[in-house]
Amino acid sequence: MGKKVYIVLILILVISIVCLIGCYFYLKLGHEKSEIIRGNMLNTYAVFETENLQPASQENIINDKIVVFHNGRGPMCLDFLDFIKTLNYPVEQHLVGEGNFSYSLSSYIDKYDKSDGVSNNFGYYPIIFTKKNAYSGFNEEIKNKIIEDIK
């Protein structure tokens, strides 16, 4: 009987290790259909499934409007929201938490090589797209560039 107990314990140990390895790879590689977007300075994350969503079309990007993705609460986002109130120009806003936020953002990012501004790799909200450029973060320099872009 003692030998059987050891065999059962070894089998349970092996199965447990296989399950842990499977869980690791599922968590590490299994979420390819999800996007993770980092919030500016607040270290907040939003994860959304992207299955069956359509990317932003090229014509959405080239229309005469500003497209912005933001969290509505960070200091740069709030400054940007104050700024757009002074513009007489269409602005399409996407807020963290919307069902297709991350997938839509990814489809816009794919159309631009890099972002200008506080981050050159889309690292800070707001992430702003104009007909000519993409910006990450918001400050006085970005404000002036946006004004030039929409002239």
The CA distance from 53 to 99, in Å, is 10
Q: Is there a single domain that holds both residue 69 and residue 121?
A: yes
Q: Provide the pLDDT for residue 36.
A: 38
Q: Provide the pLDDT for residue 142.
A: 94
Q: Tell me the pTM.
A: 0.60
Q: Is there a single domain that holds both residue 70 and residue 129?
A: yes
Q: Is there a single domain that holds both residue 13 and residue 51?
A: no
Q: Provide the pLDDT for residue 113.
A: 80
Q: Is there a single domain that holds both residue 14 and residue 52?
A: no
The CA distance from 5 to 145, in Å, is 73
Q: Is there a single domain that holds both residue 6 and residue 76?
A: no
Q: Is there a single domain that holds both residue 8 and residue 24?
A: yes
Number of domains within the chain = 2
Q: Is there a single domain that holds both residue 49 and residue 122?
A: yes
Q: What is the CATH number of the domain that holds 71?
A: 3.40.30.10
Q: Is there a single domain that holds both residue 13 and residue 60?
A: no
CA dihedral 57→58→59→60, nearest 10 degrees, is: 60
Domain range enclosing 66:
35-149
Q: Provide the pLDDT for residue 146.
A: 93
Q: Check if the beta carbon of residue 42 is closer than 8 Å to that of residue 71.
A: yes
CB atoms within 10 A of CB 129: 24
Q: Is there a single domain that holds both residue 96 and residue 121?
A: yes
The ranges of the chain with pLDDT < 50 are 29-60
Q: Is there a single domain that holds both residue 9 and residue 54?
A: no
Q: Provide the pLDDT for residue 3.
A: 80
Q: Is there a single domain that holds both residue 63 and residue 90?
A: yes
What does the pLDDT look like over 128-150, one tens digit per residue?
999 889 999 999 999 999 999 88
